[in-house]
Amino acid sequence: MAEVEQRLARLRDEAASARQTQGDLGERLERAGAQLPSVAEEAERVGGLAAEAEALRHATYYRLAGAESSLAAERKRQSFAQRLHLAPGRPQLAELRAVVASRRLEAEQALARANELNEARQRAEGELAGLKAFLDQGGRELEAAQEVQRRLTEEMPRLEAELEPLRAEHEQRSALAAEAAEEAARTAGPADLARTEGLAAEERLSEAKAALAEADAAIAASRERETALDGRLAETRAELERHEATADQTVEEARRELESAREVVERHRGEIDAFLGGLDEQTWRERTSARHELLTAAPGEAARVVCAGPDALPPGEYDVLFVDEAETVTDGDFLLGAVRTRRQVLVGTPGGGAPPAMTALRDLLDALHALAGAGGPDGLTAGAAAELDRLRASGLWEGHYAERHAKITRRLSGLGLDPVGALERTIAERLETSLYRRCLDAVS
């Protein structure tokens, strides 16, 4: 009887411990649920920053393409003696080279920033999905723990109820045995009756022992279930702590990236202010509208004609852009003036020349193909070999171009195209063929 009472006491202690553990798990789940909106908001914010960085990367790429086109056009304007370094070069050539280098650095930095923000967005989305999965799994485990606690609570009163009759029966048997002993001492006649009653008491005691054995088995099964529940609770606590640490780290990284993005936005706001010439947007629009009305009413008085190359166009906005020798003008040179005019007129000779070859871009693509294993380094030109050495020495291939080149290659291969041939055709058809020629081909 003492052993059964001790087991019941231990079962009560274990049930109390399980309730405490259940309360702790509920508090952690509540904290995780409270953190979920903030993590989701951070993931959405990082996603927006990644989209802005991707747009900035595209803009810097087109700026680089325009600067390279301007440099190629300036090189074409050099005389034969200047190309052989027998005569002083044009002063604009050095400036354009510096602009190309600056645009290339800006494009590489924008690409790096876009990659970093995309990785941060993926980490934030993964953290959000992990937190949601933890909340779902923790809720199910909490329900299972509550069910185990309920069963333990139901089993303990039943065991106590079974123990009470056993105690009463044991006391009754003790009293009967004492009475039988006294009766046997007084007389030997009723000894057989006492012996019979003793045997019956032994049978009832055996039945009581069997009932106690069943109770022990039930307690052992409850203890096993409690041990399994403790193990699951410990795993859940460790998982929650890991998610909390990862969430803090992700939020801090997102905060730093947000600060960097804000700096980029402030810099671009400064560029816009410089473009507006210190005027607010409303004043600038009013001046532009007044200029348009003056040109409509008295074009002879208000017209201002400027003749300049693509890279030497004075600041300001213009009404009409006339492009002479349009068959030799690249898209980059055309866009330098087109973005500052409302109408454009292309003047050229249908059978004339063509834009200069995009040698620098072709050298870069050949170097990227060679680094990716799409072409051998033995067949590279001198310019492509020098570009390959530059990409390796600066770490740009491993840090920026490798993953991007692989994505473009997989995308073109998925469309059933040869990546190398497709890129070569794009350069020939889009960058080395003027807009004037493409317009003639479209209307012919």
pLDDT at 345: 92
pLDDT of residue 148: 67
Taking the C-alpha atoms of residue 432 and residue 424, their distance in angstroms, rounded to an integer, is: 10
Joined together, the tokens standing for residue 410 give: 């997989």
The Cα-based distances of 168 to 77, 161, 162, 163, 174 in angstroms read 117, 12, 11, 9, 10
Q: Is 89 left (phi over 0), alpha (psi -120 to 50) or beta?
A: beta
| The pLDDT value given to residue 303 | 61
* Residue 234, amino acid: A
pLDDT in tens, 418-427: 888 888 888 8
Q: Tokens 């000779």 appear where? A: 349
Identify the pLDDT of residue 369: 86
Burial track 413-438 (b if 16+ CB lie within 10 A, e otherwise): eeeeeebbeebeeeeeeebbbbbbbe
Angle in degrees, CA 206, 209, 211, rounded to 5: 110
Q: Pick out the chain residues at pLDDT < 50.
A: none
Quote the pLDDT of residue 166. 66
Print burial letters for 361-387: b (CB count within 10 Å at least 16), e (below 16).
Answer: bbbbbbbbbbbbeebeeeebeeebbeb
CA distance 236 to 251: 22
Rounded to an integer, what distance in angstroms lies between the CA atom of residue 193 and that of residue 300? 143
Contact between 400 and 115 (Cβ < 8 Å): yes
Q: Check residue 97 and give its pLDDT.
A: 83
Q: Which of 236, 217, 237 is nearest to 225 (CA)?
A: 217
Write the DSSP string, 170-190.
HHHHHHHHHHHHHHHHH-STT
For residue 219, what are its two tokens?
Answer: 């307690």
The pLDDT assigned to 291 comes to 67
- The sign one gets for the Cα dihedral 23, 28, 33, 34 is positive
